[in-house]
Amino acid sequence: MPDYRELLQQVKAEIDEVDVAAARESDALFVDVREVDEWMEGRIPGAIHVPRGFLESRIENAAPDKAQPIVLYCAAGNRSAFAAKTLADLGYENVASLAGGYTDWKRSGLPTELPRSLDAAKRQRYSRHLLIPEVGEEGQLKLLDARILLIGAGGLGSPASLYLAAAGVGKLGIVDDDRVDASNLQRQIAHSTETLGEWKADSAKRTIEALNPDVEVVTYRERLTSENVDRILADGWDVIVDGADNFPTRYLVNDASVWHGIPVVHGSIYRFEGQVTVFSPHEGPCYRCLFPQPPPPELAPSCAEGGVLGVLPGIVGSLQASEALKLALGIGESLAGRLLLFDALATDFSEVTLRRDPDCPVCGEHPTITEYIDYVEFCSGRPAHA
Amino acid sequence: MKTVRIPPALRPAAEGKREVHAAGGTVRELLDDLMGRFPALRHQLVDGDEIAPFVNVYVEGEDVRTLDGLETEVHDGSTVILLPAMAGG
């Protein structure tokens, strides 16, 4: 039976080692296999943390591509040597152990970083997120850094904003120029009987702050227009959740998001039915690829004219929140390129495929609309150049 | 027989029906059958000899504009979805 020293030598003879200078030049994924307390005291920037005790069970989630170059490190290069052998046994093809480990890395004056972490209160508040491998502490920190802009604090914006706030999205913007009316309360759950008559943006802000004080809420008590959209988007948003109630705003949101490169989580509702998708600028179709022209006004009644089942925006707005959280976390398959249709009467979800239109006037190969237009006129049903 | 799904905004023109059966081997024949029975649908679905630009028609989940347009074949058992934009929020 070999002792520890002999076993280590045997293993080191079987694996590849790389020194800190070579490791720094490589584009490999760094995997830190040390214990949590070591990781918390500093790490190689960009490294992911998979403690050696969890290596076999967690590595396939953390690094699904077995051909991807990986550099494993520990404090001095011994635990990572054993870890490299394990990964080779699991079929990883391009694995090396960092000779000298984190100690040599640091001694060579190479950059290190201290991992950010959640305080005890946040750990408790977001504990159900921390338990999900796809979210975890890193993901929760991403959410706390995320900035999501909601267009409309009505039927869709209410549930979307509440779930995004509860999830710990650090900054929420709310654009709405309307005041809370009694007819809103059948579905717009961010508002209440107590806030009747208040600006919806302010009413929603109060509800959100009561739910989660970690969230900074920026209110815009104005209607989104060609004149103010660039100023509002310049405040810096990662994702837009479109819950507008009219076509001119939806086309404006689309054009602005394509030009600013911000993904839009789109939702719309009428009576018992809803539509949800994600428009990812220049990667997937945009709203104009889907609907190049708005319907004539008489064929597109609003919820104010045609009504809506109160819970419907709760379902559709929650789906929008789910898509927005996935985008902020960078996980899962988004609805980009797919339009989800929900019918509450039949309790039926169906999906149709959306494709980019190469002739799209905004995101196509030869765009013909390159600046904001008169969106009200565009949606009025009157020819624009009559 | 093929099933055509009628969106809420068009139901007033189709006796309030959510789904109807229609006959025909192509989108054009199906829509002709449908518009023959529900004439009020015509100006909401077609513009001259084209599908109206504000309506999408999907056969098996694919936009017929990316297939053969009105000549797209529809097989028995297929579902055709008519989809105008809706803006409510």
Q: Of A286, A316, A371, A298, whose CA–CA distance to A152 is shortest?
A: A316
Q: Which residues contact B11 (CB under 8 A, 6 or more apart)?
A: B17, B18
Within an 8 Å CB–CB cutoff, is residue B83 touching chain A?
yes
pLDDT, position A386:
35
Chain B residues lying within 8 Å of A343, measured CB to CB: 18
A352 and B85 within 8 Å at the Cβ level: the answer is no
| Cβ neighbourhood burial of A47 (10 Å; 0-12, 13-18, 19+) | buried
| Mean pLDDT per 10-residue section of chain A, whose length is 386 residues | 93 96 94 93 93 92 92 97 96 97 96 89 97 94 97 98 98 98 98 98 98 98 98 97 96 98 97 96 97 87 87 98 98 98 95 97 97 95 53
A271 and B8 within 8 Å at the Cβ level: the answer is yes
pLDDT, position A117:
85
| Residue spans per domain, chain B | 2-84
Mutate to test the interface with B, among A291, A293, A316 (most CBs of B within 10 A): A291
pLDDT, position A299:
79
CB atoms within 10 A of CB B75: 9
Do the beta carbons of residue A190 and residue A162 sit within 8 Å?
yes
* Lookup: tokens for A83: 């870890």
| Cβ neighbourhood burial of A376 (10 Å; 0-12, 13-18, 19+) | middle
Amino acid at A285: P
Do the beta carbons of residue A297 and residue A381 sit within 8 Å?
yes
Q: Which domains does chain A have, with CATH numbers?
A: 4-107 (3.40.250.10), 146-378 (3.40.50.720)
Chain B residues lying within 8 Å of A178, measured CB to CB: none
B85 and A296 within 8 Å at the Cβ level: the answer is no
pLDDT, position B66:
94
The whole-angstrom separation of Cα A228 and Cα A214 is: 28
Relative to beta strand B50-51, strand A70-73 is unpaired
The whole-angstrom separation of Cα A50 and Cα A58 is: 7
**Length of chain A counted residue by residue:** 386
What's the half-sphere exposure (Cβ side, CA atoms, 13 Å) at A263? 23
The per-residue DSSP string of A191-230 comes to: --GGGTTSBHHHHHHHHHHHH-TT-EEEEE-S---TTTHH
pLDDT, position A382:
64
Q: Structurally, what CATH architecture does the domain formed by B2-84 represent? A: Roll (3.10)
What sign for the dihedral angle of Cα A67, A69, A70, A71?
A: positive
Structure confidence by residue, pLDDT tens digits, B37-77? 999 999 899 998 999 989 999 999 999 999 999 999 999 99
pLDDT, position A384:
47
Amino acid at A150: L
Within an 8 Å CB–CB cutoff, is residue B24 touching chain A?
no
pLDDT, position A40:
85
The whole-angstrom separation of Cα A280 and Cα A299 is: 28
pLDDT, position A383:
54
